[in-house]
Amino acid sequence: MREYLLTLFTTAAVTYLLTAPVRKFAILAGAMPPVRARDVHREPTPRLGGIAMFGGLCAGLLMAAHLTHLKAVFHNGSDVKALLSGAGIMWVLGVLDDKWGVDALVKMGGQMVAAGVMVWQGLTVISIPVPGVGPVSVTPMQGTLISVLLVVIMVNAVNFIDGLDGLAAGMVCIAAMAFFLYSYRLLFGYGVEDASPAALFSAVLIGMCLGFLPHNLHPARIFMGDSGSMLLGLMLAVASISITGRVDPDLITEQTGSQREAVHALVPIYIPLLLPLTVVALPLADLLLAVVRRTWAGKSPFAADKQHLHHRLLEIGHSHSRAVLIMYFWAALFAFSTVAFSVTDTGRVVVLIGAGLCLLGIVVLLLPRFRPRAPKAIQPLVPPRYRDAEVSAEGSAESARAGLPQFSAEDAELLHGLGTAASRAGRHPGGRSRHEG
């Protein structure tokens, strides 16, 4: 565990330290597109955060290559080499898209090329483990198709949720934590050495997200852009592919003493790719809904809109930070429930706890629909949103009698626009005040 933690902290530190100079470089390079209609931020913000993430990835793998236990991952297979090849192609494609923009079909083709290069270097699904049956082999063509499809789905799922400050990095971090716990348990709980690459990649992925999040939380100073979101999606896909088809259920059956316990131990993996799909369940749901919605409307599935899940949370009244935390909650619930089900002897406790947390999540989700109202005696002392309409009207009337200025909704919008323009006038192109560091 110490070697994994050292790799994680190294990746996080390098990513964090690189993000600030990368931000300045993005501003100088002009990788700061204007605000679009579907964006939720108000000022142009630099992209290219994926450059810092890729630097953290390289630093983490370099550190792991010199550690006693983890260096075996580099010598016992070609997974690391395949990862770096695919990540390099995906990263370059993302940088080009952040700076100049790349057509959606061209970007899809580049994603398939990156996945194909990794498959060509041996990072592919070889078999699907089924308890009681053993590994069910797949043909090279089937393994290639499954691997490429998984990479493309993961990359685009993460890219789709990159719409709020800190959302994509936080959700991928949660998914990587769940995957690391599962891989680490297979490695040291059951002695499955083939799980070590997945554990290493998950630890590096956690470090990349943790190092970037302080710069990306609301209000974000830099966006990861496609260079970051596609890299994170690729890392998730590689972690799942590196472990799928390399774990023998019969080996775990011998250690647990029963096939029933082996089934529980392998729940996230004996069904093909179940765990990696559950840890990004929300992004995948958002991806599928977007494709159906746009196709039904006669638009291209790649046409951007403002109807993603996080946009809908903002529409019903949640603040930016609360919407992100709600998405974190549901991502963690799906991911860690799957891992917990594989650990416990019975899934009844996990189901009951999960059901209770779901109810809690639904209550929090609907909070904007049911705004609490303070007692009438103390309503003049609380913010307007917690007062009754009559009390707010009385307060407005008293202000009018006192000679205080009254503003209409149009006046308020005009004043807000003037304030925003004055604020921007005293700022640099990067969105920071001249008086800030």
The answer to whether residue 170 sits within a structural domain is: yes
Q: Judge whether 109 lies within some domain.
A: yes
| Integer Cα distance of 224 and 209 in angstroms | 10
| Residue pLDDT tens, the chain, 437 long | 899 999 999 999 999 999 999 999 999 998 887 765 555 556 778 989 999 999 999 999 999 999 988 999 998 888 999 999 999 999 999 999 999 888 888 999 999 999 999 999 989 888 776 655 656 778 889 889 989 998 998 898 888 777 778 888 998 998 899 889 888 888 887 777 888 999 999 999 999 999 999 999 888 899 999 999 999 999 989 988 888 766 655 565 556 555 555 555 555 454 334 665 665 666 667 767 777 777 777 776 666 666 666 667 766 766 777 878 888 888 888 878 877 776 665 567 777 887 888 788 777 776 665 555 666 777 676 656 555 554 444 444 444 444 444 444 444 444 445 455 455 445 444 444 333 33
Q: Is 132 left (phi over 0), alpha (psi -120 to 50) or beta?
A: left
DSSP 36: P
Say which residue the tokens 């070889």 belong to: 126
State both tokens at 319.
Answer: 């603040």
Nearest one of 54, 46, 49, 47 to 91, comparing CA atoms: 54
Is residue 379 situated within a structural domain?
no
The rounded distance, in Å, linking the Cα atoms of 285 and 265 is 26
Instruction: Assign 105 to helix, strand or coil.
Output: helix
Per the DSSP assignment, residues forming a β-bridge with 385 are none
pLDDT at residue 403 in the model: 47
Locate 434 and state its tokens.
């001249």
| Both tokens assigned to 302 | 């790649």
> CA nearest 269: which of 294, 244, 252?
244
CA-to-CA distance for 351 and 303, rounded, in angstroms?
Answer: 38
Mark 18-43 as b/e (b = at least 16 C-beta within 10 Å): bbeebbeebbeeebbbeeeeeeebeb
Other C-beta atoms lying within 10 Å of the C-beta of residue 376: 11
Q: Please, where are the H alpha helices in 140-166?
A: 140-160
Cα 118–Cα 120–Cα 122 angle in degrees, nearest 5? 75
CA distance 353 to 124: 36
Number of domains the chain is built from: 1
Residue 54 belongs to some domain of the structure:
yes
- Beta strands 134-137 and 127-130: pairing type? antiparallel
pTM of the model: 0.74
Q: Is residue 12, in this structure, part of any structural domain at all?
A: yes
Q: Is 59 within 8 Å of 6 (Cβ atoms)?
A: no
Contact 102, 230 (CB under 8 A): no
Going by C-alpha positions, the residue among 283, 216, 175 that lies closest to residue 52 is 216
Range(s) of the domain holding residue 134: 2-259
Q: What residues have CB less than 8 Å from 292, skipping those under 6 apart?
A: none
Nearest one of 68, 11, 64 to 197, comparing CA atoms: 64
**Is 119 within a domain?**
yes
Structure tokens at 13: 């530190």
Residue 367 placed within a domain? no
In a domain, 415, yes or no: no
Tokens 């789905």 belong to residue? 153
Q: What is the pLDDT of residue 232?
A: 94
